[in-house]
Structure 1
C-alpha cells in the first residue's frame, strides 16, 4: 500500500514541516493584510478592511505559534512559556480593539446608509484565502496526527476560524456585488466582529492556562 510523503518522515522532519507551515502562515497573513486593508480603504469596504486588519493580528498570533513549534520540538511536554503568553495577550487586546472598531463603524455605516464602491476585490481575496487556509488546515492536521501533537492539532483547528471569516467576507461581498444590498458590507463586518471577539476571548483563556484551543 502506498503511503503519503508525510507518513514517511521522521519527527525531526515533521517538526521542520510544522515550523515551515507556521512561517508560511505569517508571511501569507502579512501579504493578505496589506492587500486587503489597501483595497478596503480604496473601495470603501469595511468588511474587506476589517478582514485585512484581522490578518495583521493573525501575524502576531503566528509568531507565537512558530515559537511554540520550536519549544515543543525541544520538549513536547514543556509548558507554555512567557513569550507565548505575552503574544496571546497582545493578540487578545488587538482582537478586542478590532471588535470595537468594526461594531462602531458598522453601526455608523448602517445609520448613514454607506455603500462600498465595489466588493469585487473582496470576492477574489476571500476565495483565495479559503483555498489557502483549507490546505493549511489539512496539512497541519496531517503533521499533528503523525506527531500525536495536541498543540499542532489545536493550531490546525484554530485556522478554521480564518476560513469562517473568509466565508463571511465572500458572502457579504458577493451579495453586495450581485444585488447592491446597501447593508451587506456592514452586516458582514459585524459577522467578522463576532469571530474576532471569540478569538480575543480565547487568546486570554489560553494565556492564563495550559489550554491550547477550543475551536474544535
Structure 2
C-alpha cells in the first residue's frame, strides 16, 4: 500500500484530493496538512511514500519546503508559471499537476507513480533501458501505441462539439443527459479533452459537498 500525505491550505480541496487518492487501488491517505510547517511535521512523523503538495501555502511556498520532505512529492497546484514549475522540479518533485483537475487526471499520475516505484523496488543494478522504462512509467508514456485522441471516435467528436457549441460552461452530468451517454463516459472524454488543451476546467463550490467541474471550449486543436 502506497501511503499518501495530502497538503493543501483549502480544506475542501484537501478532502477532494484525499477522496480521489482513496479511490485508487493500492493507495491510502495517512494524513492531511494545511500549512508548510504542518506538512513537514506530519511528513517526519508519518513517513508517507508520496506527498501531494500545494505551492501556495499560508506560511511558505510548497517548493521551499520540498527538500525537507522525506516522501516523493507530486506538486498539485494552480501555480503554472515557468519559474515555479522549474523550482519545484529542480527541488526534486517527481511530477507536476496543475489545478483544477479531475479524478482521472490524478489517477493517471498515481498509477504511473505506482509502476515507477514497482520498477525501482528491487535492490539491483539497472541498465539504461530499465531506467528509461521506469521514467516512462512515471510520466505515463509507456503504455504503448499512440496517445489517445479523444475526438477520434464518434462519441469523442460529439462531446467536443457539445462543449464548443455551449453558450456557457457545462458539467459532465449536463453533457451526459444532452448526448444520451453515461456520466462516467462523458467525464472520461472531457478529461482527455482537457489533457490535450481543447477544453478548460474550473471548479465551482456549492454551499456544501464536493466542488463541481465546469468545462468550456478553449479553442485548442
User: Which of the five TM-score ranges fits, normalised by the shorter chain?
Assistant: under 0.3
Higher relative contact order (CA 8 A, sep 6+): 1
Higher helix share: 1
